[in-house]
Amino acid sequence: MTSSLVNLEDFLGTKKYVYLNAASISLMPLPVLKKMNKFQEDLGLRATAWFDEEVETNALEDARIEAAKLIGAEVDEVALLSSTTEALCAVAWSLDFQRGDNVVTTDMEFPSVVYPWMRIGEEKGILEVADLEKLVDDHTKVLAVSHVEYASGLRFNLKELRDLASEHEALL
């Protein structure tokens, strides 16, 4: 049985697969695929002669209107982004985190749910040598830390790291 919102016949992949992985890339309904392809064709064939300010402004407005209807919201309460990950990142960066604030999650969470919060901790300098001191003890053989973390640009104080490693007879 199908509802008026979803027609399984529009998901051509279901004729061949039982597709259960919708975590990041899922099957697309045929009407959406056709509309997307038409948009890309118009853009590719007519460029800015077609893609003016009005087209750009209204490009996602139909989708916002339909999404608002679907969830019982006002259109101005709906924001469309390219992915759930992008939306989560936007929310994470909009919050005013201070030292001592925390985020609670599980170790079974999908990575893109965890990474924005970790990145905020790194970017805001919440991770520092004092945080590492809680982890290093006399059983620590090696303290393996980059001077500058590639993902965040966080720069550790090398003298403090050397002192921490030396205190526990560990290699840095």
Kindly state the tokens that stand for 2. Answer: 């199908």
Which amino acid, one-letter code, is at 95?
Answer: L
Within 13 Å and on the Cβ side, how many CA atoms surround 157? 11
Give the C-alpha separation, 151 to 103, whole Å.
19
- 97: exposed, middle or buried (C-beta count within 10 Å: 0-12, 13-18, 19+)? middle
Measured from the Cβ of residue 55, the count of other Cβ atoms closer than 10 Å reads 14
pTM for this prediction: 0.53
What is the distance between the alpha carbons of residues 38 and 57, in angstroms, rounded to a whole number? 17
Domain boundaries, the chain: 8-80, 85-167
Asked whether the beta carbons of 131 and 121 are under 8 A apart, the reply is no
Per-residue pLDDT of the chain (172 residues; tens, 9 = 90+): 444 566 888 999 888 888 887 766 788 899 989 989 999 999 999 998 998 888 888 888 988 998 999 999 999 999 998 888 898 889 888 888 877 777 777 666 778 888 888 888 777 665 667 778 888 888 888 888 878 765 566 788 889 999 999 999 988 8
Q: What is the CA radius of gyration of the chain?
A: 24
